[in-house]
Structure 1
């Protein structure tokens, strides 16, 4: 077995478990609530998807392009199963702690079965490597130096200054969905030979290196900023329904986007009253 097969199997398993558990929780009456707390049934479900998310995060810290041999990888995955933590997996009550422990054991059991399976086959997944804290801070520092990125707040234009520089392009978030913005951005970057994109998110959301095809400059409840190792371009999606571009990417979009003028961003406080 190739290490990438085992790693991909672990990722797919955890993604599947997350979806299944969240669907189970969504089906509970009254959102699993009882008076000012949660029902025991809810307490047996939500801690499971919380720990699944924590385990997936640790699994995705491993670089799919540089995985250890299968035996060492299995040990690393088992370590993730036992030790993955988040703010949602601590200070648990008895019912929640029991559910969390059971979910960790399910993952460990899966790892053991995959390692011994003959001819294990799994559909590939896009590349994704989650950054550690030091790597995130290094990227924030680099973005601040090159692009004036407000690294402690995950902010850029048009929110960090009253006037947007002429070389920065700002469009409405609707342009990405309704005017083919995502496709235009992908085409522009693919033309340069780019394969991977750096994504930095706020609120402690995972920052990572991901495949270009998975790059979607959009606000998800967490603002995001994107670039690559050259820092020749930048993209930023804000909570104010704006998406901004700088550098070579802005230059390309200005020359290739025919109806760009129809999709300019206007601050909500400058929009005409309805």
Structure 2
């Protein structure tokens, strides 16, 4: 792995691992510290804030295209700058309306020191990474956050190809296409345990996919990260040719279209019993 890519990967690893650590720490606080204790909310919100800032930093790092990184010193400077200044921004309203926003300030608790400490610890880690440590970094699948312009372009292509006119699609919104079918999500996920969609897509030479959401962060991802699930936002997945699609809705439906639908039907003997 090239040194600049190793540094970018190490930063992603660090943010993911440490964010998970602090998120789990909030669970420990809930389970082991009495709520009546004076500093209970302070500890809880500081732990959340540390996890949150690391997620924000990772998101900003993943806006950098790992395929287009400059030399290692330039890459290090970019990542350090992100660590110092990355801020939470409102997710991009790709098709839907923004959900209600909450803020730690609502609780009247200041978590600035915790956030500053987490930034400093991250930057020290990035600054001190040695050549030998970079050589030992384990690879991660490609994942890049789409820019607003890319998102707009991809949504335009997807809407035109698959008759998507709003945040919801078939079966929640009328569509005249014949090569689409909506399944009950629970049944579909059970089918996928024995028949990997990733394998089917890979067999067609697909190595990267697009994950688009009606609201929030969107990605170009390695095929190994394909996970078509509703996360609170409607989700759409496809690739460059737009000749297949998966849509996960808030109504426990999963819609497939194109050649992927035909392959699933060919391998799912009782699929007709599990339509939405």
Give the TM-score of the pair, scaled to structure 2.
Answer: 0.84
Counterpart for residue 211 of structure 2:
199
Q: How far does the alpha carbon of each residue in 1:169-189 deviate from its partner, in whole angstroms, 9 at most, with x for none?
A: 211111332122683422331
Q: Residue 59 and residue 167 in structure 1: after superposition, are their counterparts in 2 closer, same or farther (change >3 A)?
A: same
Alignment of 1:94-133 (within 5 A): 95-114=110-129, 116-120=130-134, 121-133=136-148
Aligned to 2:64, which of 53, 62, 71? 62
**Do the aligned residues in 2 keep the contact of 1:32 with 1:39 (CA within 8 Å)?**
no
Q: Which moved more, 1:92-101 or 1:66-75?
A: 92-101
Residue 261 of structure 2 corresponds to residue 258 of structure 1: no
**Do the aligned residues in 1 keep the contact of 2:246 with 2:256 (CA within 8 Å)?**
yes
Q: How far does the alpha carbon of each residue in 1:211-247 deviate from its partner, in whole angstroms, 9 at most, with x for none?
A: 1121011112222001111111111000111111112
The SS at the match of 1:44 is: helix
2: CA distance, partners of 1:262 / 1:183: 17
Q: How far does the alpha carbon of each residue in 1:118-157 deviate from its partner, in whole angstroms, 9 at most, with x for none?
A: 3531111111111122211221111111112235x2x211
Counterpart for residue 186 of structure 1:
198
Alignment of 1:1-274 (within 5 A): 2-29=3-30, 39-87=41-89, 95-114=110-129, 116-120=130-134, 121-151=136-166, 153=167, 155-161=168-174, 165-180=177-192, 183-204=195-216, 206-265=217-276
**Do the aligned residues in 1 keep the contact of 2:191 with 2:268 (CA within 8 Å)?**
no
2: CA distance, partners of 1:254 / 1:164: 20
Moved over 4 A (4+): 30-35, 87-94
Q: What's the CA shift for 1:165?
A: 3.9
Q: What's the CA shift for 1:193?
A: 0.5
Q: What's the CA shift for 1:22?
A: 0.5
Q: Residue 29 and residue 258 in structure 1: after superposition, are their counterparts in 2 closer, same or farther (change >3 A)?
A: closer
Q: What's the CA shift for 1:29?
A: 3.4
1: CA distance, partners of 2:40 / 2:148: 33
Q: Which moved more, 1:55-64 or 1:172-181?
A: 172-181
1: CA distance, partners of 2:68 / 2:138: 19
Q: Which runs of 5+ in 1 are unaligned?
A: 266-274
**Do the aligned residues in 1 keep the contact of 2:181 with 2:256 (CA within 8 Å)?**
yes
The SS at the match of 2:254 is: strand
Q: How far does the alpha carbon of each residue in 1:34-76 deviate from its partner, in whole angstroms, 9 at most, with x for none?
A: 69x9722223211111111110001111122222111011011
Size of the aligned set, in residue pairs, is 259
Q: Which has the higher contact order (CA 8 A, sep 6+)?
A: 2
Q: Which moved more, 1:127-136 or 1:163-172?
A: 163-172
Q: Which runs of 5+ in 2 are unaligned?
A: 90-101
Q: Residue 80 and residue 33 in structure 1: after superposition, are their counterparts in 2 closer, same or farther (change >3 A)?
A: farther
Q: What's the CA shift for 1:89?
A: 8.4
The SS at the match of 1:231 is: coil
Report the aligned-residue RMSD: 2.6
